[in-house]
Chains A and B, each alone.
Chain A
Amino acid sequence: MAEAIVTYDLTKTYGRNRGIRDVNLAIHPGEIFGFLGPNGAGKSTTLRTLLGFMKPSSGRAEILGMDTHARTTEVHARVGNLPSEFTLDDRMTGRQLVTLFARIRGVEDLSYAHEVAERIDADLDRPMRRLSRGNKQKIGIIQALFHQPDVIVLDEPTGGLDPLVQETFLTLLTEARGRGQTVFFSSHVLAEIERVADRVGIIREGKLIAVENPNTLTGKAVRQVRIEFAAPLDDGERAAFTRIPGVEGFAMEGTVARFSVADHMDEIVKLAARHTVLALDVERPSLEEIFLTFYGPHENGVTA
């Protein structure tokens, strides 16, 4: 089966250093593809160039086999899109917006729009100027999903949403996948990508640096570990920990051991289990730590 989204050396440059270079992506039909990167890495530029809002400097992109620049309108008929920083005219309500978009799309069935609105608790009758950022974002989600398009492209969709709504939203995405829809969404939050994405593309400084399984990504990354034992460890027992590959910076303070480790969690747990463990904390790696683990230090220091 043909890919849902493909980019061929997609490049967009503007200004001196901004933009994306030679991005090659292939997103399969029916998968959720996460697009991860720090702010300013080129996530929005990739999505906006892909959708035809901006003309590629070189390279091209296809959605459902159609060139997104030559056949923009046909492509948009089969794509639901949520741009970043979604907003709409002050006086317009969510209901008016969805009604207009439904008319443009020739969609008469608004049942799913109402279902989504109910599940994420969106206020469809309040004008935009009186909605908070999170409540605007809910309208943005509805207008991207209500027509159940073949391809859904979302730019930082969970921004401003409270955790409960975020969870429901991620469930909506997995349901969409269940219907055979393809989801391509960007985020700088690893946890949400890990939660729903089948694969994740990582972009930094305008370049796609890897496409991974999200579990591999966090599995290999460095984690900070803190173990509190019932009694202090003797020298031999400490040495056993430091011999585990990937363990670094091992230090004992009284009965508390602290160290960082990449992978090899199994050995650590089994070794620790020989003692009485009072507490075990493993800190999830941050996005920046994952980047460091996989791709080395940032050229100009790590950016947030």
Chain B
Amino acid sequence: MSTTLLKPAAATAPRRITATKQPNTLAVYARHLLGRYRRAGLFWAIGFSVYTALLVLSFPAFQNSGALDVSTYPESLREAFNLESLNLIEPYLSSQVFQLAPLVLAFYPITVFAGAIAGAEERGTLDVLLGNPLPRRNVVLGTWIAVALVMLGMLAILGAATWASALAVDVSLSAREAFRASLNLFPICMAFGSLALLMSAVVRQRAVAIGVPVVVLFLMYLIDIVGKIVSEAAGLRYASAFKYYGDAIVEGVWWGGVAVLLAVALVLLAAAIPAFDRRDIYT
């Protein structure tokens, strides 16, 4: 028996498989992740787009019912929740969709980033991956790039759904307004997502990597609301990401705010790289 088993050894002895390409491992890995992540991203995008479209489609009915007369509400409340002139589509969508959207859509990058490192370590799949000539830096960067691209796709779907539903009920909302409001979600979602990525690179529990950015997200939302209602606390709003997120559908994109949020996202990403490089991987 052993002689027959040994024969293939002699036959294959002279030949060895070798690498024939010098691959860009960052691109290879990011493309792989894009394929893995896009399905979940599509579900998030469809879910939130349906919600948005339903609100747009019901806008004409609300407009005619007079239920939107908020002139008797206290002024601070009207300002905090953007209740002013709700009989226009832009402030209506601002208060009903886009002020709340980060609370929903940021969950996508947060959960994916938390799963990408801390979650992979918990599942025991991280060291198999890292056994390849794939620098840890490229694991972090590749994940970020893949999530950013999926996020942009999700927001493009949201923008298209918003615009199309407005067209369907003959509400005057330009494509430009719809897309800039949607895409304005990108910096804030990626900022909270990048916090999850940093946590994921530092801690070993996926739950912690999700929990920390979610708590920060809701605290910042609360700070922003308080800052809007209590005029003495208005300065506090600068500590909240929602201040920099602004109100793109009504006021247009605030590029200064976009720059701040993107800078925060990139700083967190940059911090995640050495954090992950330095830490031990357990099974």
Give chain A residues whose Cβ lies under 8 Å from the Cβ of B29.
104
Give chain B residues whose Cβ lies under 8 Å from the Cβ of A48.
127, 281, 283
Could you tell me which residues of chain B, from 18 to 55, have a CB within 8 Å of some CB in chain A?
18-23, 25, 28-29, 32, 36
Give chain B residues whose Cβ lies under 8 Å from the Cβ of A265.
none
Tell yes or no: A138 within 8 A of B by CB.
Answer: no
Q: How far apart are B33's CB and chain A's nearest CB, in angstroms?
A: 10
Give chain B residues whose Cβ lies under 8 Å from the Cβ of A103.
23, 28, 32
B20 engages A107 (CB within 8 Å): yes
Given the complex of chains A and B, what is the CA–CA distance between A55 and B136 in angstroms?
14
Q: Which of B20, B25, B32, B132 has the most A CB atoms < 10 Å from its CB? A: B132
Scoring A residues 68 to 97 as 1 if CB is less than 8 Å from chain B, else 0, what string do you get? 000011101101110111111101000000
- Interface segment, one of B2-10, B57-65, B183-191, B209-217: B2-10
Given the complex of chains A and B, what is the CA–CA distance between A101 and B12 in angstroms?
22
A171 engages B23 (CB within 8 Å): no
Given the complex of chains A and B, what is the CA–CA distance between A72 and B134 in angstroms?
9
Tell yes or no: A174 within 8 A of B by CB.
Answer: yes
Scoring A residues 173 to 208 as 1 if CB is less than 8 Å from chain B, else 0, what string do you get? 011001110000000000000000000000000000
Given the complex of chains A and B, what is the CA–CA distance between A77 and B19 in angstroms?
9
Given the complex of chains A and B, what is the CA–CA distance between A130 and B36 in angstroms?
18
Given the complex of chains A and B, what is the CA–CA distance between A144 and B28 in angstroms?
19
Closest B-chain residue to A91, C-beta based? B36
Tell yes or no: A8 within 8 A of B by CB.
Answer: no
Q: Which of B29, B127, B130, B135 has the most A CB atoms < 10 Å from its CB? A: B127
| From A76, A89, A100, A146, contact of B133 by CB (8 A) | A76
| From B131, B134, B280, B283, contact of A44 by CB (8 A) | B283
Tell yes or no: A266 within 8 A of B by CB.
Answer: no
B128 engages A83 (CB within 8 Å): yes
A105 engages B132 (CB within 8 Å): yes
B12 engages A175 (CB within 8 Å): yes
Tell yes or no: A63 within 8 A of B by CB.
Answer: no
Give chain B residues whose Cβ lies under 8 Å from the Cβ of A171.
5-6, 9
Tell yes or no: B176 within 8 A of A by CB.
Answer: no
Give chain A residues whose Cβ lies under 8 Å from the Cβ of B19.
77, 105-107, 147
Tell yes or no: B85 within 8 A of A by CB.
Answer: no
Q: How far apart are B229's CB and chain A's nearest CB, in angstroms?
A: 46
A143 engages B133 (CB within 8 Å): no
A73 engages B135 (CB within 8 Å): yes
Main secondary structure of the interface of B (DSSP, over half): loop
Tell yes or no: A294 within 8 A of B by CB.
Answer: no
Given contacts A103-B23, A109-B17, A178-B13, contact A88 B128 (CB under 8 A): yes
Given contacts A87-B123, A106-B21, contact A73 B134 (CB under 8 A): yes
Give chain A residues whose Cβ lies under 8 Å from the Cβ of B21.
106-108
A83 engages B131 (CB within 8 Å): yes
Given the complex of chains A and B, what is the CA–CA distance between A85 and B124 in angstroms?
8
Given the complex of chains A and B, what is the CA–CA distance between A140 and B10 in angstroms?
25
Could you tell me which residues of chain B, from 223 to 240, have a CB within 8 Å of some CB in chain A?
none
| From B6, B25, B278, contact of A104 by CB (8 A) | B25
B283 engages A83 (CB within 8 Å): yes
Tell yes or no: B172 within 8 A of A by CB.
Answer: no
Given the complex of chains A and B, what is the CA–CA distance between A91 and B283 in angstroms?
20
Tell yes or no: A302 within 8 A of B by CB.
Answer: no
Given the complex of chains A and B, what is the CA–CA distance between A222 and B131 in angstroms?
40
Q: Which residues of B contact A (CB under 8 A)?
A: 5-6, 8-10, 12-13, 16-23, 25, 28-29, 32, 36, 123-125, 127-128, 130-135, 278, 280-283
Q: Which residues of A contact B (CB under 8 A)?
A: 14, 44, 48, 51, 53-55, 72-74, 76-77, 79-81, 83-89, 91, 100-101, 103-109, 111-112, 140, 143-144, 146-148, 168, 171, 174-175, 178-180
When A and B form their complex, which 8 residue pairs have the shortest distance between CB atoms, in order from nearest? Answer: A106-B21, A81-B131, A77-B133, A175-B9, A106-B19, A54-B280, A178-B9, A148-B17
